[in-house]
């Protein structure tokens, strides 16, 4: 359907109306494309579909992996958590790259925080706080693996047959098969779903009336529901992600009269992973809403200069909740804030 208008077929939206593509071509005096050898396959092969989705999701995944660290650091401050689980000595004796990177980032984010430095009454934090390096780090390692797969793929030949001019050989093979991408997309979906799962647990801890925080993070919680319902939302979305994270690549359906007897189902993996990514974005936005509210109860103590700057920018879009209001708009504005946040992605 995306390709048909190139040859004057199919339908497109033009000036707010659905019209036949040929009308638009005539309007601009454009000539339909006449396909040459292999160009048809290039336009509709499923591996290109998977590659496009995968690259898009990967770019968002790298960004939101970083934001998950930032938001979890704010949650840790709001929960009056401990810094010890991020000591580099712990992570060098279990040296997974993502774990080490996450622990270092948490220390950097919390540097010069008055909240993290104050004496603590509790001996240790729940797993959703204490194990941030291990959980976020494992997702980082997954993202790195998937990035290698897609970088290889988008610089590869995936058509059929393959023509090797110097060897004077034409070979019919299977480079069109999407299995490497399908497996990687399923793996990525699981990793992103886990970032959402642990985020929702932190949100739940923040509204539970623990460690000097009011129930549901509002004054007069009996008269106000506060942040009760956004946690419901995060929980339902996190639960949906668990279902979406079921691998598509373990399935296969025979087609083409038995010739195509094993397929990757990578296109399904691609669309599911995008939905997981969109869900994660909303779950993290809800955690940010809760964390930014919780940390306010730690005043007059200040967090780190970076976190205070981050929250100052966020407060311009989403003000503190003092009495009940429709929080749907706060969630939407939180998502928009995270989308607008610019970071420099690694190569």
pLDDT digits (tens, 9 = 90+) for 287-300: 999 999 999 999 99
Query: For 54-68, how does the pLDDT look when each residue is reduced to its tens digit (9 = 90+)?
Result: 999 999 999 999 999
3 state DSSP class of 213: coil
Q: Is the pLDDT of residue 346 over 80?
A: no
Quick one: pLDDT band at residue 6, thresholds 50, 70, 90?
A: very high
pLDDT (mean) for 255-269: 93
Angle, alpha carbons 255-155-274 (nearest 5°): 60
Rounded to an integer, what distance in angstroms lies between the CA atom of residue 167 and that of residue 180?
A: 27
- pLDDT value of position 275: 98
Q: Closest by alpha carbon to 51, among 343, 264, 278, 281? A: 264
Return d(Cα 82, Cα 129) in angstroms, integer.
Answer: 9
Residue 208: the pLDDT is 96
pLDDT at 221 over 80: no
CB 231 within 8 A of CB 204: yes
Go through the domains of the chain in sequence order and give each one's CATH number.
1-34 (no CATH), 43-340 (1.20.200.10)
The percent of residues above 70 in pLDDT, for the chain, comes to: 99
For residue 344, what pLDDT is reported? 74
In the chain, % of residues over pLDDT 90: 90
Output the pLDDT for position 43: 87
| Stretch 31-42: mean pLDDT | 89
Radius of gyration of the chain (CA): 24
Which DSSP symbol is given to 123?
A: S
Report yes or no: 204 and 235 within 8 Å, Cβ to Cβ. Answer: yes
pLDDT of 37 > 90? The answer is no
The mean pLDDT of 134-141, rounded to a whole number, is: 98
Per DSSP, helices labelled H in the chain are 21-28, 39-44, 46-78, 88-92, 97-109, 114-117, 127-130, 132-153, 179-206, 228-244, 266-296, 305-315, 328-340
CB 169 within 8 A of CB 43: no
pLDDT band at 343 (very low <50, low <70, confident <90, very high): confident
Give pLDDT tens digits for 292-323: 999 999 999 999 999 999 999 999 999 999 99
- Average pLDDT over the chain reads 95
Distance CA 173, CA 180 (A): 15
* pLDDT tier for residue 347 given thresholds of 50, 70 and 90: low
pLDDT at 232 over 70: yes
């Amino acid at each position: 359907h995306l390709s048909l208008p190139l040859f004057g077929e199919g339908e497109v939206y033009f000036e707010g109306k659905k019209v036949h593509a040929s009308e638009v071509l005539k309007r601009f005096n454009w000539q339909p494309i006449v396909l040459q050898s292999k160009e048809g396959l290039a336009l509709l092969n499923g591996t290109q579909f998977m590659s496009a989705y995968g690259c898009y999701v990967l770019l968002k995944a790298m960004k939101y992996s970083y934001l998950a660290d930032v938001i979890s650091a704010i949650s840790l401050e709001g929960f009056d958590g401990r810094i010890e689980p991020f000591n580099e000595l712990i992570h060098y004796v279990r040296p997974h790259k993502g774990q080490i990177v996450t622990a270092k980032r948490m220390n950097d984010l919390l540097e010069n925080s008055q909240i993290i430095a104050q004496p603590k009454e509790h001996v240790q934090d729940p797993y959703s706080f204490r194990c941030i390096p291990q959980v976020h780090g494992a997702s980082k390692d997954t993202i790195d693996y998937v990035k290698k797969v897609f970088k290889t793929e988008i610089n590869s030949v995936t058509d059929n047959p393959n023509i090797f001019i110097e060897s004077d050989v034409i070979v019919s093979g299977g480079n069109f098969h999407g299995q490497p991408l399908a497996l990687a997309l399923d793996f990525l979906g699981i990793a992103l779903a886990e970032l959402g799962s642990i985020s929702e647990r932190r949100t739940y801890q923040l509204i539970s009336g623990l460690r000097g925080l009011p129930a549901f993070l509002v004054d007069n919680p009996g008269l106000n529901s506060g942040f009760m319902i956004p946690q419901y939302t995060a929980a339902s979305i996190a639960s949906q992600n668990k279902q979406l994270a079921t691998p598509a690549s373990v399935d296969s359906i025979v087609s083409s009269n038995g010739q195509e007897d094993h397929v990757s189902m990578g296109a399904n993996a691609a669309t599911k992973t995008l939905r997981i990514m969109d869900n994660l974005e909303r779950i993290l936005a809800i955690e940010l809403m809760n964390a930014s509210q919780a940390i306010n109860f730690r005043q007059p103590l200040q967090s780190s200069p970076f976190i205070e700057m981050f929250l100052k920018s966020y407060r311009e879009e989403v003000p503190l909740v003092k009495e009940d209001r429709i929080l749907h708009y706060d969630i939407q504005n939180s998502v928009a804030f995270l989308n607008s946040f610019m970071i420099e992605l690694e190569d």
